[in-house]
Amino acid sequence: MKNREISLPPVPAVLLAIISVQCGAAIAKTLFPTIGAAGTASIRIGVSALILLLAYRPNLKAITSQQWKIVIPYGLSLGAMNLIFYIAIERIPIGLAVTLEFVGPLLLAIAGSKRLVDYCWVLLATIGILLIAPWTNDRLDPIGIICALLAGAFWSGYIVLGGRISRIMNDGYAVTTGMLFAALLVLPFGLLDSGLSNLTTKLFGMGVALALLSSAIPFTLEMKALGKLPPRTFSILMSLEPAAASICAFIFLNESLNLYEILAVICVVIASAGSTLTAKK
């Protein structure tokens, strides 16, 4: 049986992945009080791995040593990024966590750029991030801040390793295999966390929706895009994450946007569109 391929162009694929992730974040926020960050991450990653296994059925025996050397750290980066980010948003506001997490990909974008115009887009995206960050919050947990920055570092690793594995391995097989190793990393933390003992059928159903929206769908879309976009362009496009988080919070959680957040949305949208228009094919 031939594998079903996603035919979306890379830029729409990234944008759809961003929307999917932020819708999933709204679900995750409702699960945190009951099953905790580690429990939520375990359900998200574990169910995602099962869904992808059923969808793609990769032949693990056919994976070459070259592919193993990349797909294993890719999966571990994926799992660590999600677990640590959930720990962060348990302690600090999600808008600040998303903003701090983006420091990693933003530094990656700067490091990979050699043209002045790319620095301009990065600068504009940075202005947007600074505008959207809730810097006036005086009750910031240092552990939450460190975890958000650390999640950003793993996010950068995910971008680089995802781009490499997508060039030597089928997209669906790469995401599925990587998700298996992400699950192996995250599940022990979920089992040690007492939150999973509060799991009900309803909460598990929400966890399945979370897995689809936050992992299975967006990571597959991103893998497709990573094989066609330069890492720096992908990173700048992902600067939409803080803006998307605020918009989804307004739609699903009834959190209104202030003037600075609206200006931030404009900045990151222009930066993302500009980077897409000026990027080399």
Spell out the residues 6+ positions from residue 14 whose beta carbon is closer than 8 angstroms to its own: 221, 222, 225, 229, 234, 237, 238
User: 151 — phi, psi (to 5°)?
Assistant: -60, -35
Number of domains in the chain: 1
DSSP string, 95-140: HHHHHHHTHHHHHHHHHT--SHHHHHHHHHHHHHHHHHS-TT-S--
Q: Identify the pLDDT of residue 75.
A: 94
Residue 127 lies in a domain: yes
Q: Which residues contact 119 (CB under 8 A, 6 or more apart)?
A: 110, 113
Question: Does 230 reside within a domain?
Answer: yes
Please write the tens of the pLDDT for every residue from 180-201. 999 999 999 988 877 777 888 8
Mean pLDDT value of segment 23-51:
87
Contact 166, 227 (CB under 8 A): yes
pLDDT, greater one: 153 or 136: 153
* Residue 89, in any domain of the structure: yes
Query: Is 2 among the domain residues?
Result: no
Q: Could you report the per-residue pLDDT of 99-110, keeping only the tens digit for each?
A: 788 778 777 767
Average pLDDT over residues 226-243: 75
Least confident residue range of 39-53, 56-70, 82-96, 242-256 = 242-256
**Residue 234 predicted with pLDDT over 90:** no
Task: Decide if 55 is inside a domain.
Answer: yes
pLDDT recorded at residue 257: 66
Whether residue 3 is contained in a domain is answered as: no
Q: Domain of residue 171: give its range.
A: 11-278
Q: Is 148 buried (19+), middle (13-18) or exposed (0-12) by CB count in 10 A?
A: buried
Asked if residue 4 belongs to a domain, the reply is no
Residue 237 in any domain: the answer is yes
Q: What is the pLDDT of residue 100?
A: 80
